[in-house]
Homo-oligomer: A and B are copies of this chain.
Amino acid sequence: MKPDGGSLIGFGSSGLGGATFKAFDPARNAHLEPSFQSAAPEDVERAVQLAREAAPAWAKLPGTTRSSFLSAIAAKLEAKSADLVARAMLETGLPEARLKGEIVRTAGQLRLYGEAAARGDWLDARIETARPDRQPLPKPDHRSMLRAIGPVVVFGSSNFPFAYSVAGGDVASAFAAGCPVIVKAHPAHPGTGELVGRLILHAVRECGLPEGTFSLLFDAGFEVGQALVRHPAVKAVGFTGSVRGGRALADLAAARPEPIPVYAEMGSVNPVLILPGALAERAAGMVEGLYASALVGVGQFCTNPGLIVLQRSPAAEQFVKDLAARLAAAPEGVMLTPGIRHNFVSHTAARAHQPGVRVIAKAKATSSCGAAPVWFETGAKEFIGNHALSEEIFGPSSLVIWCDDRAEMLAVARELEGSLTATVHAGAAEAKEQGPLVDILAERAGRLILNGYPTGLEVSHAIVHGGPYPSTSDGGRSTAVGTRALNRWARLICYQSFAGDMLPPELQDANPLKLKRLVNGEWRTDPV
């Protein structure tokens, strides 16, 4: 399996020209073959029209068929894991073990969302049967559920070439919900994207699904993505990346004649608040835990712990000193792209010049795309009111915030902007007194963690990977990970006084799909 550089548009490919670009090997500082051709406006139009045509059939596909399709993709990813990992290693500089594990996780995610589609709980099917003799007016029969929203456009991430890209969480959940998907390939790993895209198309054909179920478009710049978000037939957008990129798409979508939702998972500083009791009980373990969490993936995780909040004390000072010593000796890692590395260098340089900010650890990086930890410290008084210190620096950099006392720590907590996660480390005795702190954090993050680390994300029914702005564009009303992710790609539909097979199977009396349904106020799985 080798990429050939053309967009995948329905079952065909494009030969229309457009600017070309090459993937880049950040570890070897060299461009990779082949050239990828940006999609032309006609390509965008054709991909969207095919998706539009496929959408009605897709919305009616049984959940079990969607599940089979997602399982087929998962099996193909696993079967071709070696080829995929080989190309992804070249394009991302990520290590083999990590990429292999990411494919396992991606396949598991595809299957879990397929199971959710087959089970159908997410549809929230509800039935109120007619009461023709009700006074003063008869009550009509109403049956309602979620229904696929239509063609979805997904912008994959730079940092997860499998789990949040062409066959990643947004794509898997949109398919599971019944939507055709058009992916705008991330230019950092176009070859990996093309290979995964071809596997998806094999699965489309194998499962007998319509052309237009899936397309993959390349672009050297922003035109293709903007054209997709503006297209009237596109009904929702998924995005994983920077605040700047996600907000630009959300603004574009909000300004359309018909606004559409953009689910952008964006910047997050993931504060970690460390209380005195935790330091007393397990400072050494926390040095190792925080070191590992902060450096996994060269700090290029959306849940990277970017702010560390402590009350000043000899124990806290020793803790930070030990952590800084570990960080200063950390080996350099290869960042995903020269652009990301450039931003890391310039943003850490700028932070070093912020008033009241000092460097506490700076490890050496010498290779062209290399990065090593650059950590800072500042005081609560300097942090509060200086928005620049709340901005995420993507990569292995975090900011330690020193508080004089508990009151100042609460003040820092109140200053925090929206994050995907917020973590509290507390000792056994003090944990139960953290109610007020936890309440503050609950207004500022989507996932609260006690005595753990923010990186490492379970894909499950209960997980939430979303949070208040700017960590997501929708203020944390939805999640990008877990089975609730399906809900993003649907709207409500209600049938009044329909019966028999004029109703979708999900709402028929006989309950042929054996769904859990709210019938006249009671949850039931039996026929009405």
Asked whether any CB of chain B lies closer than 8 Å to the CB of A493, the reply is: yes
Please tell me which stretch of A161-169, A193-201, A338-346, A470-478 contacts chain B, meaning at least 4 of its Cβ atoms lie within 8 angstroms of it.
A470-478
Tell whether, in the assembled complex, residue B494 and residue A432 are in contact, meaning their CB atoms are under 8 Å apart.
Answer: no
* Complex partner residue of A126 from B127, B150, B461, B501, CB under 8 angstroms: B461
Q: Are B462 and A491 in contact (CB under 8 A)?
A: no
Please tell me which stretch of A287-295, A395-403, A449-457 contacts chain B, meaning at least 4 of its Cβ atoms lie within 8 angstroms of it. A449-457
A442 — which chain B residues lie within 8 A by C-beta?
59, 147, 493
With a 10 A CB-CB cut-off, give which of A149, A255, A502 has the most chain B CB atoms: A502
User: How far, in whole Å, are A478 and B492 apart by their CA atoms in the complex?
Assistant: 7
By a CB distance below 8 angstroms, the chain B residues around A478 are: 492
Shortest Cβ distance from A269 into chain B, in angstroms?
15
| Contact pick for A144, options B251, B431, B464, CB 8 Å | B464
A63, CB-defined interface residue at 8 Å? no
Interface-side segment among A87-95, A371-379, A516-524: A516-524
From A182-190, A258-266, A327-335, the one touching the partner chain is: A258-266
Give residues 236-261 of A contacting B (CB, 8 Å): 250-251, 254-255, 258-261
Residue pair A462, B127 in contact (C-beta under 8 Å): yes
On whether the beta carbons of B498 and A448 are closer than 8 Å, the reply is yes
Given the contacts A443-B56, A502-B435, A496 and B450 also touching, CB distance less than 8 Å: yes
- Closest beta carbon of chain B to A323's beta carbon, Å: 21
The proximity string for A residues 353-381 relative to B, scoring 1 for CB distances below 8 Å and 0 otherwise, is: 00000000000000000000000000000
Contact: B448 with A475, CB < 8 Å?
no
Q: Contact check: which of B127, B456, B494 meets A448 at CB < 8 Å?
A: B494
- Mark out the residues of chain A between 126 and 171 whose CB falls within 8 Å of any chain B CB in the assembled complex: 126-128, 137, 139-140, 142-144, 147, 149-150
Can you list 30 A-B pairs with a CB-CB distance of less than 8 A?
Answer: A55-B443, A60-B439, A121-B518, A126-B461, A128-B458, A128-B462, A142-B458, A143-B462, A149-B477, A150-B443, A258-B468, A258-B470, A259-B475, A435-B502, A438-B498, A438-B502, A446-B491, A447-B494, A447-B496, A448-B496, A448-B498, A449-B496, A451-B497, A462-B518, A463-B494, A464-B493, A464-B494, A477-B490, A484-B492, A516-B523
